[in-house]
């Protein structure tokens, strides 16, 4: 019984005692007693109503507390936060889902910038305290988690999901999430394509043709530089976008495909091709192809910004950056093959980097927790849903899931990407093939040094190879 109820009952008792203890005449006493009794009755009724109301409030509070206690908390982590190209497409759908399950599931969303996210997950891997489900990369990026037995074999998820099946996805998209034991530990969401963009207006202005060979590129570069225009907006900051451009050039050389595939099972990074491509990049730096400050102008955003500001004639980027390309720049941009490098034998006009790059991983312990299992499956079903996938496509994402995407609803630059890719053989990149996070980090930092001539091509290759021993 709470204090409000005690006060109400105390007032009623006091009123009754006062009535029976009165010293009036009989007639007066009878009338007064009658009036007092009526008043007491009304007061009692009022008090009873108040007590009932209080009890109802208490009951509602208890039920709310019980309901909150019965809710299952699921932590979903991602780098699709504000500032990421997918945020405006992901977050509204997440809110809809969050509201639809609010009676039973408390879905807590944690978002981070990409580099902070990598650090966070690495720390949580070491402490074996991963989020319940989280979007992440595969390949070498998930190796430590797999080795520690922290991730769920996704066949277990597919077996328990009533709405999502393995057959819903491009079968090759699972390769990126295949560990050394042959099992898959991630559900692929995003595929991608590498594109080399050229500003048609700038080429037309200076009466230049798109370069097909490196000699052509050097001639174009001289004209652009004389007019204060950077030939190619590519820098290297944390290995981006230089790492992916390195792989594009690498695939022009004979044997590259086999070498890349072999890396996942212990094959070497150190090859003649690896050294040759590193030398190609340093030659491009020496020939003034890139911005003078490749660190400041490295990273996906700064490199692309030079191009969208029309301070650079060409750039290399990926569809996840399409949200940052204004419509007027999309109109004057053409996708062209990367110029053929000296000594290469694979026609660059026939290939294009295309691979699975992102998906979500499931915490094995959370999935096997009977209190969390059903709720976790629902959250995973949302992440793999057609509705979310179709919405993310609008951000420039190439889906791994087989969904209907209307061509005419895509950004113009995405339509150009789709058209360009139709007759191209998709080739892989080092990022998805290197077997460990350490090797990826060594390649990234090594490329930063290579672009500022702080390391030789041979030493760069040796540094990456040393992580694989």
| pTM as predicted | 0.81
Q: How many CB atoms lie within 10 A of CB 244?
A: 22
Ranges under pLDDT 50 in the chain: 1-51, 53-66
CATH superfamily of 193-355+412-466: Periplasmic binding protein-like II (3.40.190.10)
The crossing angle, in degrees rounded to 10, of helices 87-100 and 373-383 is: 140
In this prediction, residue 70 carries a pLDDT of 85
Task: Find how far residue 10's CA is from the centre of its chain.
Answer: 62
Beta strands in 79-155 (DSSP E): 105-111, 133-136
In this prediction, residue 189 carries a pLDDT of 97
Across all residues in the chain, what is the average pLDDT?
88
* Helix spans in 138-286 (H): 143-147, 154-160, 200-205, 214-226, 242-250, 256-263, 272-286
Contact predicate 430/277, CB 8 Å: no
Give the dihedral sign, CA 262/264/265/268.
Answer: positive
Beta strands in 94-238 (DSSP E): 105-111, 133-136, 187-193, 195-199, 230-233, 236-237
Q: What is the pLDDT of residues 115-169, one digit of tens each?
A: 999 999 999 999 999 999 999 999 999 999 999 999 999 999 999 999 999 999 9
Of 312, 308, 299, give the one whose Cα is nearest residue 329.
Answer: 308
In this prediction, residue 244 carries a pLDDT of 97
Instruction: Answer yes or no: same fold for 73-190+358-408 and 193-355+412-466.
Output: yes
Contact predicate 402/190, CB 8 Å: no
Indicate the fold that domain 73-190+358-408 takes in CATH. Answer: D-Maltodextrin-Binding Protein; domain 2 (3.40.190)
In this prediction, residue 407 carries a pLDDT of 87
In this prediction, residue 69 carries a pLDDT of 61
What is the rounded CA–CA span in Å between residue 409 and residue 347? 32
In this prediction, residue 19 carries a pLDDT of 30
Beta strands in 267-383 (DSSP E): 312-317, 333-335, 351-362
| Domain range annotation of the chain | 73-190+358-408, 193-355+412-466
Contact predicate 9/46, CB 8 Å: no
In this prediction, residue 409 carries a pLDDT of 87
What is the rounded CA–CA span in Å between residue 107 and residue 215? 56
In this prediction, residue 405 carries a pLDDT of 82
DSSP string for residues in 404-420: ---GGGS-HHHHHHHHH
Length reported for the chain: 469
Q: What are phi and psi of 429, to 5 degrees?
A: -130, 160
Of 389, 458, 432, 21, give the one whose Cα is nearest residue 264.
Answer: 432
SS3 102: coil
Q: Helix (H) and strand (E) counts for the chain?
A: 20, 13
In this prediction, residue 11 carries a pLDDT of 28
Of 371, 359, 385, give the one whose Cα is nearest residue 154.
Answer: 359
């Amino acid at each position: 019984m709470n204090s409000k109820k005690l006060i109400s009952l105390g007032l009623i008792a006091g009123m009754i005692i006062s009535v029976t203890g009165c010293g009036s005449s009989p007639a007066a006493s009878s009338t007064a007693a009658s009036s007092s009794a009526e008043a007491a009755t009304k007061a009692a009724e009022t008090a009873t109503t108040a007590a009932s109301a209080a009890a109802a409030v208490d009951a509602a509070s208890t039920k709310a507390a019980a309901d909150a206690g019965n809710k299952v908390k699921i932590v979903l982590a991602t780098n699709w936060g504000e500032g990421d190209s997918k945020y405006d497409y992901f977050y509204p759908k997440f809110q809809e889902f969050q509201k639809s399950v609010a009676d039973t599931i408390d879905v807590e969303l944690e978002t981070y910038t990409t580099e902070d996210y990598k650090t966070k997950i690495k720390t949580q891997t070491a402490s074996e305290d991963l989020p319940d489900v989280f979007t992440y990369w595969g390949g070498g990026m998930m190796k430590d988690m797999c080795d520690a037995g922290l991730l769920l074999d996704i066949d277990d998820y597919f077996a328990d999901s009533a709405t999502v099946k393995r057959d819903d996805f491009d079968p090759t998209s699972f390769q990126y999430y295949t560990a050394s034991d042959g099992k898959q530990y991630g559900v692929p969401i995003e595929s991608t394509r590498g594109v080399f963009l050229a500003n048609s207006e700038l080429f037309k202005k200076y009466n230049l043709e798109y370069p097909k060979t490196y000699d052509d590129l050097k001639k174009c570069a001289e004209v652009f530089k004389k007019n204060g225009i950077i030939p190619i907006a590519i820098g290297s900051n944390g290995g981006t976008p230089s790492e992916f451009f390195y792989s594009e050039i690498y695939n022009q050389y004979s044997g590259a495909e086999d070498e890349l595939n072999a890396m996942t099972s212990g094959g070497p990074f150190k090859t003649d091709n690896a050294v040759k491509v590193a030398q190609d990049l340093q030659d491009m730096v020496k020939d003034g192809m890139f911005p003078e400050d490749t660190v400041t102008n490295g990273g996906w955003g700064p490199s692309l910004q030079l191009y969208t500001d029309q301070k650079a004639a060409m750039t290399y980027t990926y569809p996840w950056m399409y949200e940052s390309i204004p419509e007027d720049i999309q109109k004057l941009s053409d996708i062209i093959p990367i110029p053929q490098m000296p000594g290469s034998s694979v026609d660059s006009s026939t290939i294009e980097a295309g691979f699975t790059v992102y998906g979500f991983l499931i915490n094995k312990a959370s999935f096997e927790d009977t209190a969390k299992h059903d709720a976790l499956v629902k959250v995973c079903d949302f992440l793999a849903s057609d509705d979310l996938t179709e919405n993310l496509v609008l951000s420039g994402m190439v889906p791994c899931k087989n969904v209907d995407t209307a061509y005419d609803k895509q950004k113009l630059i995405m339509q150009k990407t789709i058209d360009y890719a139709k007759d191209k053989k998709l080739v892989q990149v080092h990022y998805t093939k290197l077997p460990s996070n350490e090797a990826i980090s060594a390649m990234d930092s090594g490329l930063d040094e290579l672009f500022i001539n702080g390391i030789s091509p041979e030493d760069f290759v040796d540094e990456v190879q040393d992580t694989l021993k």
